[in-house]
């Protein structure tokens, strides 16, 4: 009887491991669709200058497109913003603290603009770049970073580089 009990335990462990492997395999099927996401920087607009705090706030807009047939959400866009080739700083768009059903859904073919507030601190850039930024004299903006997309089963990171003038 002891041998039969051991075989039952071993069979149960093997069954659980096979089930876990199946779940991981099924989740990985979404990765191809998640990696197809496209992101582009479409607008950087000055919204506020705080002269006493030596800060300027910009609204940064990314257009995210889903060309795949999978429905996905965007969890994080971690980016660096450049103005006329000079690094202005880093920013992050995050919905990581929002439950998956509460986020914007990118269905097949969807294009959704995602907006983020970027704070430019005067002491983190050269005085010339700061003056150009607050006076609207920056002609070319660019961004590079990483976008994290998710389905209910999977998550993928994709590096990007984009700009506009």
- Give me the residue spans of the domains in the chain: 2-164
Mode of pairing for the β-strands spanning 86-94 and 38-50: unpaired
Q: Name which of 2, 165, 22 is nearest 82 in CA terms.
A: 165
Please give the Cα distance from 38 to 91 (Å, whole number): 19
Rg of the chain over CA atoms, in angstroms? 23
φ/ψ (deg, to 5) at 134: -75, -15
Could you tell me the pTM of the whole model? 0.80
Please say whether the beta carbons of 112 and 79 come within 8 A.
no
Please give the Cα distance from 147 to 94 (Å, whole number): 10
Please say whether the beta carbons of 79 and 158 come within 8 A.
no
Please say whether the beta carbons of 113 and 62 come within 8 A.
yes
Adjacent-strand bridge partners of 149:
74, 156
Provide the residue-wise pLDDT of the chain in tens; the chain has 165 residues: 565 788 888 888 888 888 887 776 766 666 666 788 999 999 999 999 987 778 999 999 999 999 988 888 999 999 999 999 999 999 999 998 887 777 888 999 999 999 999 999 999 999 899 999 999 899 899 999 999 998 877 888 999 999 877
Please give the Cα distance from 35 to 24 (Å, whole number): 17
Q: Name which of 165, 164, 163, 160 is nearest 38 in CA terms.
A: 160
Query: The domain 2-164 is classified under which CATH number: 3.40.50.620, 3.40.50.11890, 2.60.40.10, 3.40.50.150?
Result: 2.60.40.10
């Amino acid at each position: 009887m002891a041998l039969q009990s051991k075989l039952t335990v071993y069979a149960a462990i093997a069954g659980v491991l096979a089930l876990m492997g199946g779940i991981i395999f099924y989740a990985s099927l979404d990765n191809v669709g998640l990696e197809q996401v496209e992101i582009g920087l479409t607008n950087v607009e000055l919204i506020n200058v705080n002269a006493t705090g030596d800060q300027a706030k910009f609204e940064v807009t990314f257009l995210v497109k889903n060309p795949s047939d999978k429905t996905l959400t965007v969890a994080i866009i971690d980016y660096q913003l450049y103005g006329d080739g000079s690094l202005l700083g880093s920013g992050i768009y995050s919905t990581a603290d929002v439950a998956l059903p509460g986020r914007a859904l990118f269905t097949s073919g969807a294009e959704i603009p995602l907006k983020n507030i970027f704070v430019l601190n005067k002491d983190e850039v050269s005085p010339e770049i700061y003056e150009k930024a607050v006076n609207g004299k920056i002609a070319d903006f660019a961004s590079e970073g990483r976008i994290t997309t998710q389905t209910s089963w999977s998550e993928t990171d994709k590096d990007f580089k984009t700009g506009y003038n």
